[in-house]
Structure 1
Amino acid sequence: MSSITLSSATRQNLLVAQDTASLLSTTQNRLATGKKVNTALDSPSSFFTAQGLDNRAGDLSNILDSISNGVQVIQAANTGITSLQKLVDNAKSVANQALQATIGYSTKSNVSTTITGATAADLRGTTSYANAQASSNVLFSGNAAGATAATNATKLGGTQGTLAGTAAGTATATTTLSSLTNGPAAGDTLTVNGRSITFRSGAAPAAADVPAGSGVTTGGQVVTDGSGNSTVYLGSGTITDLLSAIDLASGVRKAAISAGAATVTASSTQTISSINDTSHIVTLKSSVGADLNISGKADILASIGITSATGGGTASVNVARTAGSAGLGTLIADGSTLTVNGKTITFKDAEAPASSSTRPGVVQNSSNADTPVETDGSGNSIVYLQTATLTDVLNAVDIATGAQKATTGSAKTTLATTAGATNSSIAGGILKISTGTTADLNITGTGNALSALGLAGNAGTDTSFTASRSSTPGGLSGKTLTFGSLNNGTAVNVTFGDGTNGTVKTLDGLNAKLALNNMQAALDASGKLTISTTNDYASSTIGSTADGGTIGGTASALFSTAQAPVEDVNSQNTRKSLLSQFNQILDNIKTTAQDASFNGVNLLNGDTLKLTFNEKGSSTMNLIGVTFDPSGLGLTKLGQNGLNEFEDISSTNKVISSLTQASTALRQQASTFGSNLSVVQNRQDFNKQIINVLQTGSSKLTDADLNEEAANSQALSTRQSLTVSALSLANQAQQSVLQLLR
């Protein structure tokens, strides 16, 4: 070939064509492979750097497979824990069924005693009560010196009050009311001590024509109803008739009514109201048992000279009693009452009635004489002020408290002191009021009775007078009762008393002490006090060596000997059947824990999972497994060796407690696995991202820019064509020589 002679132009064009072909070949290789560095010859530095990055990416990809397996191992363990949790919950449900089953013993271990009269409010038993006496303030008579102590004979009534009017013209006892100037007219009324006097025209009716229970006064023109209300007839009614009607209303006079006729007489020890025919002056008298109060038209009262007021308006006239040496210094007002232990004593301004078949409630004294006390047989009494004494008041109080028993016969009532009580009395002016034995004393009042009898306190403002009976507590009082610790409870030491200074009085108080020692008390209607184990410890025996709770103290001799509890066969069989269900669940827990494996690794069966996170092995994680079979969870089969862990509430609660602890352990381990899984998944994601970074870096070192290479290929093709054309032109001279040769 060296002998071939080429022109310079041809050689030059040929070299260009060879270079172009070489470049085109390189470009086409890059387009075909997508890489600009295919061998170390292309770029040793880029080639080997990219190869190192690719190798690391490959190593990390292999590690990702191991990490993925680790994720599945953890998820398998977590799935196992979820199943185990459900099984533990099922086991707890079985234990709860045992709790809800009928108590396993028909009779629990107990000790008992019967205390007569014991109640839930007072376990000590029947309290015996004795009569006590309460003292009033000193009472004085109405003696002028004001310092004479009252006695049993001191009367409740005072001295009659007197009001002498002014001369009533020429009026006399027989002056008719209709003839008085501005005297009463038909329809007018007067009110005397709350009772009514009505004036009516015409003459009084015959006895046969008056309403039942009323009577016409003998020879007069007054019809009275026997209760102090009267009608005065103006046809021929006189001033004497009017004064008689006023005295009937005030109690100065009394009327005995029979067959429509009323016989009017002065009440005992009373002076009647009157008019002096010479001086024409009316003299009004109050009752010894009440002050006199008259109200009515002023003209009527002025017409008889007892008021200076005139006209059609209302005027009032008052005549007050005075305290005398024979009566109380403070007079009791008519209508006042004492309420003694719920019974009412009423003070009434009237003469005491005589005992009879129609008034059998009138009390007679030891001499069979009538007294001014009338009782209804239920403890309520009326004390008649006109003749009553302090003795009568004390008798009425004793009837109300039961210190004296009132026995009513066909025509009288007698009193006898109740056994164990003492009659109320007076000494040195002080009332000694007996409480009786049936209730504590409580006295309230209306009007002024409470203060007049010295029962309103030193200031006279108290609204009640009270006193307690003497009392002696029942059989358990002062005795002690002890129990040693029962099933790790708190030992009991009880002293029965009134509830103060740490003593126990009530059933609630006793139960508060016993509850801390797994015991409880109950009391029935007969007073039987039973102390037994609680339902939680129904299988325990009080005082046994195994359970404790030995009884002691001064009250222990009163209690029966504790016996062992008596099993309820049906209930115990039900509970034993639940043991079998429980054990089946434990078997499932064991197999579930064993099956929670993946690829031969079981984190619930004590295996350890080691994970490597980088290609050098310098980043690793060890997941230490747990043993979550029943034993590992702290659970054991029940009913072994004849035991019955569901026999009572306490033992059942112990099983539930162990299940709760197992459930807690499962939850804690699930949390641990969850945290571990989060770490592993995070590292898995990290490795994926690192692989991407490595591969991207490698590509940037070796990958070709296909757009650039395509443009290069197009340019080189064009260049090659031009080179061929140039080569052709270079050879044209030789072509001309060839033509000459032809």
Structure 2
Amino acid sequence: MPDIVLSSAVRDNLLSLKQTADLQSITQTRLATGLKVNTALDNPNSYFTAQSLNDRASDLSNLLDNMGQAVQTIRAADKGITSITKLVESAKAIANQALQTSSEYERKLFTSQYNDLLEQIEDMARDSSYKGKNLLAGAGNELEVIFNEDSTSNLTVNPVDFTDTSLDDGLNLDDLDAGGTGTSSFNLFSGTTSISLSGLQASSNLTDLADWATGNIVSITDSSGTTNLTVGTDITTVQDYVDALNDLNGVHATFDEATDSITITSGLDNPLYISKDNTGGGAATDGGDTGGTTTTMTVSPLSSTATLVSSGGFQAGDTITITDGNGFEPASLEIDEETTVSDLVTFINNVKGLDATFSGGSISLIGEVSFDISSSNSDFNRTTLGSTTGIVSLTAAPSEFKSDTDIDRTLQAINAALDELRNAARSMGTALSTVEIRTDFTQNLINTLEVGAGHLTIADMNEEGANMLALQTRQQLSSTALSLANQADQSVLSLFG
């Protein structure tokens, strides 16, 4: 107040106390915040320089988070490539296993296993995404990683497409054709008849019979045509006659000297007619010594319990062989007197990839690959005298593992796919290494920026603590000095005592 006058000493001590209090306030703020520059008023140059450094560190910290997510995206793709490589190596192992067997059926099974692996590869590629980004799923999944705050430093990781193994610019592994199935059938018929040659032996001449003469023609007829045998030219003795009958397709003949008759067993599926004419003399007969008639042999389908040797297409000791389209022989069966139709069906059913059912004298076949059923007996499955072959053939569309050439071609494609996977792994590995290196660099740079900003603004706590003690001492001394100055002014009161 203007009416109150303080001495110079008091005023000086009051001013000193005020300045000390201001300095204490500043020091207390520095001790509380840890900063020697809290506002632009404290030190404009340091404040704004530190703020710029901290702003850049903050921007880089945001980029650092994105880099970390990019690392995980690349790692997900890299893990996917590693697993896909193992699956492709498994596919290669399957192809090599197929190469070790000649069985067409087993190779067909390997084809299915191979296709299953390709499907797993595609599923693996589709599952290798991270936060919606999949570097194994092709176009649209490019990954851009930004390394600095103005986006002038960046890396683009281009994706590959393994979600479709057949793509030419991917693995280029096509699904293999597993082939198809085929059907076939063959009939089992039987018929038996006999021709009497009274008084003859195997070595006897046929012309020893009263009705037989040189030049006579014996005719054997079925639905396919007629076979003629000329007496004296094609057949002379009884044994010649038997041999000629045995040479006919689907017919088996034997001569019994005890009964002086030829027994003929047929496996044909149609009747057989035998007769002899009287060309050159004699008289027409049934092919034996009975005149004026024809021997007719009817046939009927075998039952499941009938023995195979009851048909002219089988004899004891025959070997039935099954071979596939590669010539591989999965099974064979030796026929004996007791082997039945049911035994034959069971034998066929025991062959993997081949199924048989029997009904009405016919065996129906379904095969997953091609098969041939043949016999050491040329009469097997000769249904007519004019049959050109007795082999039962079942044709099925082959798989793409049928031949060694097919498998070798697939192995070449697999090796190329493995090279593609290794290239992709190297590319992903390089990108991953680059991003990780830049991540470490950015972390260190952020630390450098924050330390630099701290050098400009962070207070030295030891120094500020010492300042506070000094100011407290100074405050006490100023208070004492003020008290002394007041005492000097009060000394005048003693004059009024």
Sort the TM-score into its range (normalised by shorter chain).
0.5 to 0.7
The question of 1:70 aligning with 2:70 is answered: yes
**Which of 475, 490, 493 lines up with 1:720 in the alignment?**
475
Aligned-partner Cα distance in 1 for 2:53–2:448: 9
CA apart distance, 1:734 = 3.2
**Separation in 2 of the partners of 1:647 and 1:732?**
122
Note if 1:4 corresponds to 2:10: no
Which of 682, 694, 705 is equivalent to 2:449?
A: 694
Partners of 2:494 and 2:175 in 1: how far apart?
A: 119
Sequence identity of aligned pairs in percent?
50
- Map 1:322-721 onto structure 2 (within 5 A): 571-606=103-138, 607-629=141-163, 630-631=165-166, 632-639=170-177, 642-721=397-476
Q: Number of matched residues?
A: 274
Alpha-carbon offset, residue 640 of structure 1: 5.3
The CA deviation at 1:706 is 1.2
Q: Secondary structure at the match of 2:148?
A: coil
> For residues 366-398 of structure 1, what are the alpha-carbon distances to aligned partners after superposition, in whole Å with 9 as ceiling and x for unaligned?
xxxxxxxxxxxxxxxxxxxxxxxxxxxxxxxxx
SS at 2:143 equivalent: strand
Which residue in 2 is equivalent to 1:79?
79
Alignment of 1:291-302 (within 5 A): none
Give the whole-Å Cα distance in 1 for the aligned partners of 2:111 and 2:27. 85
Deviations 1:518-556, CA, capped at 9 Å, x for gaps? xxxxxxxxxxxxxxxxxxxxxxxxxxxxxxxxxxxxxxx
Deviations 1:592-632 (A, max 9, x none): 00111111111111121011000001001111100113122
Q: Quick one: which amino acid aligns to residue 12 of structure 1?
A: D
TM-score by length of 2: 0.54
More strand per residue: 1
Q: Deviations over 1:482-502 (max 9, x none)?
A: xxxxxxxxxxxxxxxxxxxxx
Q: Which amino acid aligns with 1:655?
A: T
Q: Amino acid of the residue matched to residue 602 of structure 1?
A: N
Higher percent of residues as helix: 2
Checking the alignment, whether the CA contact within 8 Å between 1:49 and 1:698 is kept in structure 2 is: yes
Alpha-carbon distance in structure 2 between the residues aligned to 1:71 and 1:683: 11
Question: 2:437 and 2:488 mapped to 1: Cα distance?
Answer: 78
Q: Does 1:99 align with 2:99?
A: yes
SS in structure 2 at match of 1:597:
coil
Query: Contact conserved, 1:576 with 1:639, CA < 8 A, in 2?
Result: no
Contact 2:108 2:178 in 1 (8 A): no
SS of alignment partner, residue 611 of structure 1 = strand
Paired with 2:119 and 2:493, the residues of 1 have a C-alpha distance of 109
Give 5+ residue unaligned stretches, structure 1: 104-570
Which residue number in structure 1 is paired with residue 24 of structure 2?
Answer: 24
What amino acid maps onto 1:611 in structure 2?
V
Shift of 1:738: 3.9
Paired residue for 1:55?
Answer: 55
Distance 2:18 2:37 in 1: 22
Q: Deviations over 1:492-515 (max 9, x none)?
A: xxxxxxxxxxxxxxxxxxxxxxxx
CA offsets, 1:88-143, max 9 Å, x none? 01111111111111x2xxxxxxxxxxxxxxxxxxxxxxxxxxxxxxxxxxxxxxxx
The within-5 A match list for 1:43-192 is 43-101=43-101, 103=102
Q: Post-superposition shift, 1:648?
A: 1.6
**Does the aligned pair in 2 maintain the 1:50–1:701 contact within 8 Å?**
yes
Give the secondary structure class of the aligned counterpart of 1:731: helix
The higher radius of gyration belongs to 1
- Aligned alpha-carbon RMSD (Å): 1.3
- State the match for 1:190 in structure 2: none
Shift of 1:739: 5.0
CA drift of 1:735 comes to: 2.8
- Cα 1:703–1:651, aligned 2, differ >3 Å: closer, same or farther? same
**TM-score calculated relative to the size of structure 1:** 0.36
1:486 match: none
How far, CA to CA, are the matches of 1:583 and 1:68 in structure 2?
A: 37
| 1:285-307 Cα deviation digits (max 9, x unpaired) | xxxxxxxxxxxxxxxxxxxxxxx
Conserved? CA contact 1:78–1:670, under 8 Å: yes
Deviations 1:668-701 (A, max 9, x none): 1101111111111111111111101110110001
Contact 1:604 1:625 in 2 (8 A): yes
Q: Which amino acid letter does the alignment assign opposite residue 491 of structure 2?
A: S
**What is the identity, as a one-letter code, of the residue corresponding to 1:11?**
R
1:382-428 per-position Cα deviation (integer Å, ceiling 9, x unaligned): xxxxxxxxxxxxxxxxxxxxxxxxxxxxxxxxxxxxxxxxxxxxxxx
Match of 1:226 in 2: none
| Matched position secondary structure for 2:22 | helix
Task: After TM superposition, give the deviation of residue 709 of structure 1 in Å.
Answer: 1.1
The alpha carbon displacement at 1:585 in A equals 0.5
Take 1:691 and 1:85, find their aligned partners in 2: how far apart are those partners?
A: 39
CA apart distance, 1:28: 1.2
